[in-house]
Amino acid sequence: MIPLVLILFTLFGNDHIEIQSSTPSTIQLSAAFSDYSKTEQKPLVRFVIAAQPPTFTYEIGKTDSVIVESGKNLDVLNISPVAIDNPLTINDVRLYPISIHPSYLNQGSKIFYEDILITLSFEQSAKQLELSSALKTAFSGLILNYTERGNIAPSGYLIITPDAWVNEITPLARWKEKKGWTVEVRTLSQTGSTANDIRNYVANAYNTWSPRPEYVLLIGDVDYIPAASTVPSYTDHSYTLITGDDFFSEVLIGRLSASTLLELSTMVAKIIGYETEPYLGSTTWFTRALMVGANQPGFMTTPLPTKRWVRDRLIDYGFNQVDTVFHPMPPSGITNSINQGVIFVNYRSGEGDPNGWPWPDFRNDDIYGLNNGWMLPIVTSITCYTGHYGYGTCFGEAWLRAGSSGNPRGAVGFIGSSSPATHSSWNNCIDYGIYWAFVHDEIKTLGPALYRGKMEVFTNFPGDTSTASGSAFYFYAYNLLGDPSLSVWTDIPDSFVVNHVSSVPVGTNAFSIQVNNSTSQPVENAMACLHKDNEVKEIQFTDASGYADFNFTTTTEDSLFVTITKDNFKPHCGHAMVYNTSVYVGYYNHIVDDPSGNDNGEVNPGETIELSVTLKNYGNSTTATNVSAKLSIDDPLVTITDSIRTYSSISPGATASSAPFVFDVATSARHNHVLKFDLEVTATQGNWLSSVWIDVKAPALTYQRNQIQDGNGILEPGETRDLIVSIENTGGLIGNTISGILRSFSSGVIVTDSFGFFGNINVGDSSSNSGDHFTLAASSAISPGSEINFALLLSGDNSFDDTVGFAITLGIVDSSEPLGPDDYGYYAFDDTDVGYPEKPNYNWVEIDPAHGGSGDTLSLANDETKTISLPFGFKFYGDWYNQVSICSNGYIAMGSTWVADMYNWPILAAAGPPLLIAPFWDDLDPNATDSSGNVCYWYDAANHRFVIEHSRIQHLHDPVNPTPAELQTFEVILYDPQYYPTETGDGEILFQYMDITNDDGWHNYATVGIEDYDHTTGLEYTYANLYPDAAAPLANNRGWRIRKKPGDESNSRDLP
């Protein structure tokens, strides 16, 4: 487990915490503080992932002090500068907060630390972060050191219901079982009926059941099953909080909030019908959606831009039509759009109530009057109070209760707030996050999509995690009415063409499925589940050829259900009959013997195996005579040397053994490779096919950590240092006489001693080359912060070989180094990067006509973006653009966009425009009373550059109650790539700041950086007043140059 920084929390002034160096066993953090005379200092917090609390040491650097004013509130008094707090937990993953306190009181003075160096040490663990399939879906894109584990099969699903309603919920439970879930239905008489009883039952199930539940579904309104809590609002979220003292769920929860059996029957029918038999009479509804909402001028101006943002993302994803019904349009537009069929209904406004939406006015009766039949949408009502399921029949409940099991209407799922006190910026953020989950993160399950939306709030508002009004509040306020495991359609469903046998005799243990799509192409990674009551539940994922093979045992007659599912495919719901026959001889058990190997009874690489197979006659009346068996396999790692054996006659129900089959296993066989043998049994009475599956047990070596052998544990440019690498055996067999050869993938770091010896490594143990070091020589020309990739080629006895990879970060990055690169290759150079020819020289270009410039004024209203043509083509992230969009709020975007968000978000957040170039994204108003400037643009033909200036623009704090602050003046300059060529042809960008103050703590200060169209890569210079080590803080007379760093430095030139 590699402990890396996960999440950043609130920062003040120019305070920051940054990684100095990192290995899996240690992290060094540098904390620097400033502006302490202007701002009250708060503890700074960072999170690390670890199995156990890390130990730490710290060194105090320079300190300073101020005289304490009489009566001044002091938030940190005589406490340790560094503390490890209690962990947050998500499933079994622990996030440890590292709190750093920058000040203390001493004899009338407040002492401030200006820098602290903290070293964290971790116990090693090879255990992979164990997230359930549900939380893996929601979190895998957010955890920096999460390693993808491939397809994860469903595990546990807990349904809690009133006793009298078990029969009504059984069809849903049966369907979920066929999909692959281990479903447990529990009644209130079993769980207890109070909130505390239910909370304890869920926690016990999570902690003791195997498999543990991933999803919990509550059946009934609060009159039957109480909310987990009613403070700060009605919520079921508290039921999901099992480990740790935090607000992160271990399970995901939903509620079918029925008040009658008829309503429950309707909800169950909707879910099963939506998932298994989606309406295909018209398929246009699968790529249609509806956006509904209202701005409230002078009070709330961001809901409609949020709706337009979601609309654009859905259209980019492939939706053909996204309707908009914005106040003051009549509510009939909502009815008409839903009746025509939509997949999503998304609402945002400044207000809502338990009875519905006020703008446009759409209420419970309007839901009951819909006629959308089986075209059932997901409704996301991102506003106050519409999900208050503790209030009669609230608006959210009406969507699920509407219609009947035979004539449905309304919706299949509803997400909404049970609180009257949500706020716009947080609501916008959760809205962005939910739909970002669907269209960007490819999350196609309703519960994880909601949780991803909540995590968007958490990661975008690092300054306040309170349950009263901060990000934690929204985890409780927003609830899911519906099935949290619901598979959500985001495209027209394709169909499976599935081939498998229609019947098999009792005793069969081999079953194969082949899956194609509607155009006869094989379908990879479809989930195939075989389910037979009380006997068989097997899950496999199809391979690239569409095949899935199963190995199991059947002993009784009944239906073997075959269910195939995959996102945006109509499920295949088939079966094969398991029947009794008079005679059927097949596999019963086997014994592995390896007397010429290590004699451990396991299959290991390089061994000759004697495989004794016992057969059984599963028939009910006839003896099998003249029995023989032939073993075969289609696997290049196996050579069978003795493949045929004869058996005695086998009477019904009896077993028989024979001499062993013999086969050789290649030395290159890997740990947990499955040998899938076919066993063809022949007798006078017939021929039958069984299978024998055996796992290979081998060493499996994984990288743990590295240590550079010098005083600070860091390889610096120009240094030659020894390197120790630690590896762990996570396999099933000892690794004997392990040695390694180290290879570097960079010409900047040469391996001068490439051989290392690790010795014998038992299963679960670690070893290093501490007695036989590698040696690395780093070029003095390589930049600090460069990540150097290595491959360690491992070998051992019995022809064992394996390769592990790892990376080492060179040097210690500070503000004299460039920022980057991002995944595309952009670097950012500021004017403190004195050792680089790309360093910009601040040279203000005044273009505002009001201040003697030659530019044109772009008439922009508050929160407005306009698109203009460029005088030359400009290449950005590999694509060419002839237009640029300029926003009043301190950013531009390549191409055409209408987005004019006054709320700034981090680089790579869901929100914001595509192709962002942000010199200072924050709430700016060129038309404010105190604003004395303009937004201007100018083509400097002589110097082949295009200048955009925000000149003396009013900075606003607190968008709810706008407070005029400073006048900001900055500019961005685009350079014509034809005259300023780079290695890739991408244009150069220069930010310059003449008069800048970054002090809007109400909404995470300003965002400075760039990102690509898909928000998948970018450079973040600052957000929430956090700066990377390589970035000098924003200041007057500062420049920031963005370019692809060439391999040939002669390609770099000064910019005018």
Number of domains in the chain: 5
- CATH number for the domain spanning 641: value is 2.60.40.10
pLDDT for residue 146: 46
CA 835, 836, 837, 839 dihedral sign is negative
Contacts for 389-394: CB closer than 8 Å, 24+ residues apart: 389/221, 389/222, 389/227, 389/234, 389/255, 389/257, 389/418, 389/479, 389/481, 390/222, 390/227, 390/230, 390/234, 390/418, 391/354, 392/354, 393/259, 393/364, 394/354, 394/355
Question: Which residues, including other chains, have CB under 8 Å from residue 71's CB and lie 6 or more apart?
Answer: none
CA geometry: angle 892, 997, 818, nearest 5 deg? 65
Mind giving me the DSSP string for 925-940? ETTSTT----EEEEEE
For residues 599 and 552, membership in a common domain is answered with no
For residues 908 and 1014, membership in a common domain is answered with yes
Cis peptide before 919 (omega within 30 of 0): no
Question: Which residues, including other chains, have CB under 8 Å from residue 72's CB and lie 6 or more apart?
Answer: none
- pLDDT tens digits, one per residue of 288-316: 999 999 998 667 788 999 999 999 999 99
Cis peptide before 360 (omega within 30 of 0): yes
Measure Cα distances from 656 to 417, 631, 770 in Å. 65, 16, 55
Q: How far apart are CA 1016 and CA 436, in angstroms?
A: 12
pLDDT for residue 650: 98
By three-state DSSP, how is residue 279 classified? coil
Sorting pLDDT into bands at 50, 70 and 90, what band is 134? confident
Mind giving me the DSSP string for 13-43? TT-EEEEEEE-SSEEEEEEE---TTTS----
Q: How far apart are CA 819 and CA 831, in angstroms?
A: 12
- pLDDT tens digits, one per residue of 149-172: 678 889 999 999 999 999 999 999
For residues 558 and 637, membership in a common domain is answered with no
Q: Would you say residue 555 lies in a domain?
A: yes
Per the CB < 8 A criterion, the answer to whether 919 and 891 are in contact is yes
Q: Would you say residue 604 lies in a domain?
A: yes
Residue with token string 């009475």: 685
Of 625, 659, 688, the residue at which a domain comes to its end is: 688
For residues 966 and 861, membership in a common domain is answered with yes
- pLDDT tens digits, one per residue of 326-340: 999 999 999 999 999
The predicted model gives 535-555 an average pLDDT of: 96
| HSE of 387, CA atoms in CB hemisphere, 13 A | 32
pLDDT for residue 113: 52
pLDDT for residue 2: 25
Q: Tell me the Cα Rg of the chain.
A: 32
Whole-model pTM: value is 0.84
The predicted model gives 753-763 an average pLDDT of: 97
Q: Would you say residue 510 lies in a domain?
A: yes
Phi, psi of 895 (to 5 degrees): 80, -160
Q: Does 95 score more than 70 pLDDT?
A: no
Q: How far apart are CA 187 and CA 195, in angstroms?
A: 14
The two structure tokens encoding residue 20: 């100095």
Of 551, 579, 607, the residue at which a domain comes to its end is: 579
- pLDDT tens digits, one per residue of 455-501: 889 888 766 777 877 889 999 999 999 999 999 999 999 999 999 99
Question: Which residues, including other chains, have CB under 8 Å from residue 85's CB and lie 6 or more apart?
Answer: 45, 96, 97, 98, 99
For residues 789 and 671, membership in a common domain is answered with no
Q: Would you say residue 932 lies in a domain?
A: yes
Mean pLDDT of the chain: 87
Q: What is the dihedral of CA 816, 821, 825, 826, to 10 degrees?
A: -50
Per the CB < 8 A criterion, the answer to whether 765 and 728 are in contact is yes
Q: 952 in the Ramachandran plot: left (φ > 0), alpha (ψ -120 to 50) or beta? A: left
For residues 542 and 620, membership in a common domain is answered with no
Strand partners, 347: 292, 381
Phi, psi of 205 (to 5 degrees): -60, -45
Q: How far apart are CA 1048 and CA 303, in angstroms?
A: 48
Residue type (1 letter), 199: R
Q: Would you say residue 962 lies in a domain?
A: yes
For residues 893 and 954, membership in a common domain is answered with yes
Domain coverage including residue 67: 5-128
Phi, psi of 617 (to 5 degrees): -90, 105
Of 101, 128, 155, the residue at which a domain comes to its end is: 128
Q: How far apart are CA 822 and CA 325, in angstroms?
A: 39
Q: Would you say residue 571 lies in a domain?
A: yes
Sorting pLDDT into bands at 50, 70 and 90, what band is 549? very high
Q: Does 209 score more than 80 pLDDT?
A: yes
pLDDT for residue 231: 78
Q: How far apart are CA 368 and CA 803, in angstroms?
A: 63
CA geometry: angle 692, 696, 699, nearest 5 deg? 175
Q: Would you say residue 36 lies in a domain?
A: yes
For residues 684 and 705, membership in a common domain is answered with no
For residues 864 and 805, membership in a common domain is answered with no
Q: Does 78 score more than 50 pLDDT?
A: no
pLDDT for residue 70: 37
- pLDDT tens digits, one per residue of 930-945: 667 799 999 999 999 9
For residues 613 and 652, membership in a common domain is answered with yes
For residues 838 and 939, membership in a common domain is answered with yes
Q: How far apart are CA 229 and CA 226, in angstroms?
A: 8
Strand partners, 957: 963
For residues 1041 and 893, membership in a common domain is answered with yes
CA nearest to 1003, candidates 922, 924, 926: 922
Q: Would you say residue 201 lies in a domain?
A: no
Centre a 10 Å sphere on the Cβ of residue 227 and count the other Cβ atoms it contains: 22
CA nearest to 894, candidates 788, 804, 1011: 1011
The predicted model gives 769-783 an average pLDDT of: 94
Q: How far apart are CA 473 and CA 429, in angstroms?
A: 13
CA 723 to chain centre: 34
pLDDT for residue 1025: 85
Residue with token string 């706020």: 423
The two structure tokens encoding residue 600: 């451990």
- pLDDT tens digits, one per residue of 1003-1046: 789 999 999 999 999 999 999 888 888 899 999 999 999 998 75
Q: Does 761 score more than 50 pLDDT?
A: yes
User: Of the given ranges (16-25, 88-97, 231-240, 698-707), which has the lowest mean pLDDT?
Assistant: 16-25
